[in-house]
């Protein structure tokens, strides 16, 4: 199967469209970005009806803020891990701690922001087992990669690309260069998940914040 990857940003968040037989979206950015999303589709000549699935790597507002509006516009289904269902249906927020010095300094500010977004009920609840994307004509899986939050997930393509949400950061205000996240509920789980993903032969990382980068940057940090 042939796939194309279209990176774009909705606010501070890096989002992605993966096109196979159908199109899958990864993360939905901050609230109020439907108009910008429409421009992305127009620029890339993508019919909104081709988008069949919106995968949310976790429930923080900067990753699922525009999910409901985009679902209403495209008709796509929204998938999130079952453990984070309540966080997109209510005002509850999973709060990770700071991992490094910068994370500890900025964590109280970042997670004190009271940013609301249109709440919604997900269409697909992911569990801890891999979820194949073959029905969308994409050679890849959604896999359970907790650590940043309890229900964080990643998308791994057989061609070596990994879309990891906040398992990695690569840009202001988080990091000046690519590496492990500065916020996590369990950084050791993140490191263990990275080892598992790397063993699958991935070559390029697509983070939830910042530009894609080679996997070597993560390998060096795990050393």
Kindly report the CATH number assigned to the domain that includes residue 34: 3.60.15.10
- 181: Cβ–Cβ under 8 A, 6 or more apart, which residues? 99, 103, 148, 166, 167, 168, 169, 174, 187, 190
| Total tally of structural domains belonging to the chain | 1
| Count of residues making up the chain | 223
pTM of this prediction?
0.97
Name the DSSP class of 164.
E
What is the pLDDT averaged over residues 206-211?
A: 97
- Domain range spanning residue 116? 4-222
pLDDT tens, position by position, 128-181? 999 999 999 999 999 999 999 999 999 999 999 999 999 999 988 899 899 999
25 - beta bridge partners? 17, 54
% of the chain surpassing 70 pLDDT: 99
% of the chain surpassing 90 pLDDT: 92
Q: Report d(CA 180, CA 80) in Å as an integer.
A: 22
pLDDT tens, position by position, 72-99? 999 999 999 999 999 999 989 999 999 9
**Average pLDDT for the chain:** 96
* pLDDT confidence band for 3 (50 / 70 / 90): confident
């Amino acid at each position: 199967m042939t796939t194309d990857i279209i990176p774009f940003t909705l606010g501070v968040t890096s989002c992605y469209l993966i096109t196979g037989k159908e199109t899958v979206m990864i993360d939905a950015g901050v609230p109020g970005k439907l108009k910008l999303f429409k421009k992305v589709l127009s620029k890339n000549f993508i019919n909104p009806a081709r988008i069949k699935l919106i995968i949310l790597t976790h429930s923080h507002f900067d990753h699922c803020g525009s999910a409901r509006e985009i679902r209403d516009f495209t008709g796509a289904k929204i998938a999130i891990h079952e453990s984070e269902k309540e966080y997109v249906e209510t005002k509850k927020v999973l709060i990770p701690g700071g991992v490094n010095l910068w994370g500890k300094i900025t964590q109280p500010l970042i997670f004190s922001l009271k940013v609301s977004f249109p709440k919604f009920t997900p269409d697909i609840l992911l569990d801890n087992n891999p979820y194949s994307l073959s029905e969308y004509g994409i050679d890849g899986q959604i896999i359970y990669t907790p650590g940043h939050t309890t229900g964080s997930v990643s998308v791994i393509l057989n061609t070596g690309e990994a879309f990891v949400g906040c398992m990695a950061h690569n840009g202001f205000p988080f990091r000046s260069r690519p590496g492990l996240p500065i916020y996590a509920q369990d950084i050791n789980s993140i490191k263990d998940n990275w080892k598992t993903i790397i063993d699958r032969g991935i070559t390029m990382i697509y983070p939830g914040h910042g530009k894609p980068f080679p996997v070597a940057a993560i390998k060096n940090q795990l050393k």
